[in-house]
Structure 1
Amino acid sequence: MDFLATTISATLTTGAEYLRFEDLGLHAVALKIGFFELRWYSLAYIAGIVIGWWYLLRLIAQPGAPMARRHADDLVFYATLGILIGGRLGYVLFYKPAEYFADPASIIRVWDGGMSFHGGVIGVSLAILFMAWKNRLHWLRIHDYVACTIPFGLFFGRLANFVNGELWGRTTDVPWAMIFTRAGEEPRHPSQLYEAGLEGILLFALLWFMFWKTNARHQPGKLVGIFLVGYGLSRFAVEFFRQPDAGLEHLAWGLSMGQTLTVPMLIGGLWLIATAKGRADGVRPVPAEPDASA
């Protein structure tokens, strides 16, 4: 977190002279060898998936888990496809459909940027449904466990957004504002860091407490409901500080596109939380691992 310390220190010492993003010395490319480039955004996805997988294995090691190790290993593969395909198609459909449909080949150029978290959620949900159907598992309980791992990806993804100098905030005069040159010379909120803190650290802490310190994991739908409400509230709030995509700042109903997409999440999350206790009787033990000696 050296860059964050640099940001705070420079802002406090320069007074009204806001820190410029390029002064941090950050670059979107983490490693370049010849024509090969490894970007921080790619590393963020890899880190989120690998650490999320590791944490999922810890979760399912507890009594009463909805799946075994063999299911978790398969799920990582399906969920990765869901993240990439769902996230990309979600961005295309929700944010810039006219632009991408005018040049369909650009849809597959994911290295140019453009992923939607809401689309990724849909993609992962479909992956869970498929895996649960295939193995005759409780799909909603699997959602609960997977929801606890998602903040890792959100945290690293938002940090990567900051390193890339993208998805900056609205103009402001707060002392910690930054000048993102690509957005002009006005100081702006470093909203990427707000999101990393809310969607990553705070949401993870809430889900950690609910999983390890309460019986929420035995009430199907409660943890995923908490995730949906937690993320929805965080994203809705940050949209007041984050610069929305051009043309999507204020839709006909007064909300930005980012806020609009959180509304179904909030409604669905609240319903899942409210009805979770009634599903507790449906909890069944996971099928045993095959006998290796057989």
Structure 2
Amino acid sequence: MPFLLIDFPVFNPVAVSLGPIVIRWYALAYIVGIVLGWIYARSLIKKERLWGGPAPITLPQLDDFILWVTIGIIVGGRTGYVLFYNLPFFIEHPAEILELWKGGMSFHGGFLGCVAAVMWFARRNNISILSLGDITTAVAPIGLFLGRLANFINSELWGRPAEASLPWAMIFPNGGPLPRHPSQLYEAGLEGIVLFAILAIMIRMGALRRPGLILGSFIAIYGIARIIGEHFREPDPQLGFLWGGLTMGMLLSVPMIIVGAIIIVAAVRRKANGPAPDSVSSSVQGQP
């Protein structure tokens, strides 16, 4: 047993309760993530220097898009979980597909739902699909971070049994007697904080001037981060380990790395829009 074993802090699964209205932590993570992402996206759109000119999407269009992408996340996330992680169960109990409050969402499905929402909205509004994808993925790590924190609070998707020398191992209430990796926190750090920081630095260096660069980077880096996290995360019990010790999360992330790399290469080869952000700043400061 680890000599500094940490007791799991037991949380109330309900975050907000107002009479008959009950909001659980996972739902709150979705709500706050979407709101904060919307605020951050608006701030990016307002900064023309980041785009090399006016942003390819207006603020009113972004406000309309929020509903579309929210539907894409929910429908895609649930559909992905049903198809990728628990199809035999839902074939026998189809009515439970709609019972979202019981949990069961897939990032990869939610991402595909976002892709569909981006493509549909962009075509209907004559917007660059790649640029709208850049905005969407630039803010996505915010929601990923909060979602993983909600997983931790709910004591779900916990990690594999930890080595006896790991001082921060935890015994989760529904994870058996063994101390485990708090893999939700690992993923929150990798998929949330690290990924957000990398994309934010790229944006500041002018990545939005090359449509698709942020999108491709998000896809590829997330795939890498997810595979790393899966090495510490206990596989879903209904699936377990697959071929060669791989998990479903790993298998679904490999194509992301490949597709992301292809999008990055295409974006780098594409001519950048307008002057670089530093050039804009310098020219403005040099004016009398």
- Uncovered stretches (5+) of structure 2, i.e. residues with no partner: 275-288
1:40 aligns with 2:25: yes
Equivalent residue in structure 1 for 2:243, among 252, 257, 265: 252
**Structure 1 segment 202-281 matched on structure 2, within 5 A:** 202-212=194-204, 214-252=205-243, 254-280=245-271
**CA–CA distance in structure 2, aligned partners of residues 185 and 254 of structure 1:** 23
User: Within 5 Å, which residues of 2 pair with 1:142-157?
Assistant: 142-157=132-147
State the distance in 2 between where 1:265 and 1:240 align: 17
Displacement of 1:147: 0.8
Partners of 2:206 and 2:115 lie apart in 1 by 23
Contact 1:20 1:181 in 2 (8 A): no
Compute the RMSD of aligned alpha carbons: 1.7
Correspondence for 2:46 among 44, 57, 61: 61
Residue in 2 that maps onto 1:16: 3
Amino acid in the other structure paired with 2:61:
H
- For 1:50, the equivalent position in structure 2 comes to 35
Contact 1:249 1:255 (C-alpha < 8 Å) held by counterparts: no
> Which amino acid counterpart does residue 159 of structure 1 have in structure 2?
L
Q: Does 1:132 align with 2:117?
A: no
Alpha-carbon distance in structure 1 between the residues aligned to 2:103 and 2:259:
29
Q: 5+ residue gaps in structure 1?
A: 1-13, 284-294
- Residue from 178, 183, 202 that aligns with 2:175: 183
| Residues in 1 aligned to 2:245 and 2:25: alpha-carbon distance in whole angstroms | 35
Q: Partners of 1:176 and 1:17 in 2: how far apart?
A: 7
Cα pair 1:88 1:116 within 8 Å, conserved: yes
Moved over 4 A (4+): none
TM-score by length of 2: 0.89
- 1:82-138 CA-partner distances (Å, limit 9, x unpaired): 000000000000000010111110000000000001001000111111111001111
Q: 2-side partners of 1:139 and 1:15: how far apart?
A: 50
TM-score (norm 1): 0.87
1:24-173 equivalent positions in 2, closer than 5 A: 24-63=9-48, 64=53, 65-172=55-162, 173=164
Q: CA deviation at 1:223?
A: 0.5
